[in-house]
Amino acid sequence: MLDFDTAQDRLAARGRAPATRETLPLDALYGRVLAEDIAAVVDLPPADNSAMDGYALRAADAAAPGAVLPVQQRCFAGQTPEPLLPGQAIRLFTGSVIPAGADTVVMQEDCREDEGRVTVLAPPAPGQHIRRRGEDMRTGQTVLTEGTRLDAGHLAVLAAQGHDKAAVFPRLTVGILTTGDELIPPGHPLPPAAIYNSNAPMLASLCRGLGTAAPTLRHARDDAEAIHRALAELNADCDLVLSVGGASVGEKDLVKPAIEALGGALDLWRVRMKPGKPVALAELNGRPVVCLPGNPVSAFAVFALLVSPLIRGLQGRRDVLPPVRRGILQTPRPVGGTRDDFLRVQAAQGAAGLPRLTPHTQQSSGALGSLAWAHGLARIPADARLKTGAEVDWMALSDWLS
């Protein structure tokens, strides 16, 4: 078996960015991956402006407590102020341009205006409450980098720089192949010895959460020809194929032979992790195929920890491996085994700063309800035996599935 870290590195390294790109309007960019660096074309702010509602003046003119100055002008945001005359003040509002000659803004709460004159209640400091030109972004500065998955904050930056479109990588297309005579689509009557296919909707939603196009779903019975045909069709149409089940060593594990029959080459097979040992990465016609375990809990764990870095790389994202956090294990009995064990845990803030990680009471690969319960996966290293209070790595699902 391949050790977990090597397997994760290999899948992450296989995630090469697309060679093509497309230009989309601003309102279609949310969730897409930027395919170019964006440099500032204007300074932000474009001019010195007021951070407060108040009065622009020379600090020296209000050095004495209770200084009284004539109000020269009232200037709103979007208007151009007159140059400030010595010994006077200009009434400003948040975002108003600072008039030439002024070196400070006194907020209105520290002033009292009456009949065109303002009393400054306390001497101001030069430069206070002024946003300086370019302090946020300067012309020529790189403000967004290629490989960024765009969210609302990024779109605000694009809009503030006057961009109504940007170049992005095409959405990744994913094919999902589930196999097994025992699987029945949800909504249909359940025959004896059958189970509902939970892998297909689970994996499709996980892909969509990472920003792929809506996955193409196929199901094949445990038949070599049917699996061969489904794999070939998905491989022809999709950038990435995920197969579920049929990649172990049983009599009806027919996916691995089908990949080889189609000319695919396996890069890895079986990983020293629990849940999720029967994992395979293959290359078929220049496109990756990942074979996941058939058990939904195992498929979920493998997707989160091994497939999501691959997908981020194939999308052209800059950061493919999310952060690994630290937490304090809370367990009624020692845990650990011969493989890296990834426990489904909930995290609660601890008194010492690190979160307390409580494992679900059912850690078997058949405990499907634990997936809806868990906040993340805590890693128990292979051949370790850890007790309550041990500090461990854990992967928050909010990090690894976005």
**CATH code, 338:** 2.40.340.10
Domain assignment present for 290: yes
Shared-domain flag, residues 182 and 154: no
Shared-domain flag, residues 155 and 182: no
Shared-domain flag, residues 159 and 282: no
| CATH number assigned to the domain comprising residue 110 | 2.170.190.11
Secondary structure of 108-133 in the HEC alphabet?
HHHEEEECCEEEECCCCCCCCCEECC
Contacts of 39 by beta carbon, 8 Å cutoff, 6+ apart: 140, 141, 142, 143
Shared-domain flag, residues 348 and 299: no
Shared-domain flag, residues 220 and 297: yes
Per residue of the chain (402 residues), what is the pLDDT tens digit? 899 999 999 999 999 999 999 999 999 999 999 999 999 999 999 999 999 999 999 999 999 999 999 999 999 999 999 999 999 999 999 999 999 999 999 999 999 999 999 999 999 999 999 999 999 999 999 999 999 999 999 999 999 999 999 999 999 999 999 999 999 999 999 999 999 999 999 999 999 999 999 999 999 999 999 999 999 999 999 999 999 986 655 555 788 889 999 999 888 778 999 999 889 999 999 999 999 999 999 999 999 999 999 999 999 999 999 999 999 999 999 999 999 999 999 999 987 789 999 999 999 988 999 999 999 999 999 999 999 999 999 999 999 999
Shared-domain flag, residues 306 and 335: no
Secondary structure of 258-275 in the HEC alphabet?
HHHHCCCEEEEECEEEEC
Shared-domain flag, residues 106 and 242: no
Structure tokens at 43: 């300074």
Shared-domain flag, residues 290 and 212: yes
Domain assignment present for 103: yes
Domain assignment present for 320: no
CA-CA distance, 36 to 20, in Å (whole number)? 12
Domain assignment present for 38: yes
Shared-domain flag, residues 177 and 211: yes
Domain assignment present for 333: yes
Domain assignment present for 276: yes
Q: Is 316 strand, coil or helix?
A: coil
Domain of residue 71: give its range.
49-131
CA-CA distance, 201 to 211, in Å (whole number)? 15
Structure tokens at 56: 């622009």
- Among the candidates 106, 131, 156, a domain finishes at 131
DSSP letter, residue 305: I
- Among the candidates 79, 103, 131, a domain finishes at 131
- Among the candidates 315, 348, 366, a domain finishes at 315
Torsion, Cα 220 223 226 232, to 10 degrees, reads 90
Residue 248 pLDDT: 59
Domain assignment present for 275: yes
Residue 318: other Cβ atoms inside 10 A: 14
Report the domain count for the chain: 4
Shared-domain flag, residues 10 and 67: no
Shared-domain flag, residues 31 and 53: no
| CATH number assigned to the domain comprising residue 27 | 3.90.105.10
| CATH number assigned to the domain comprising residue 199 | 3.40.980.10
Shared-domain flag, residues 33 and 150: yes
Domain assignment present for 218: yes
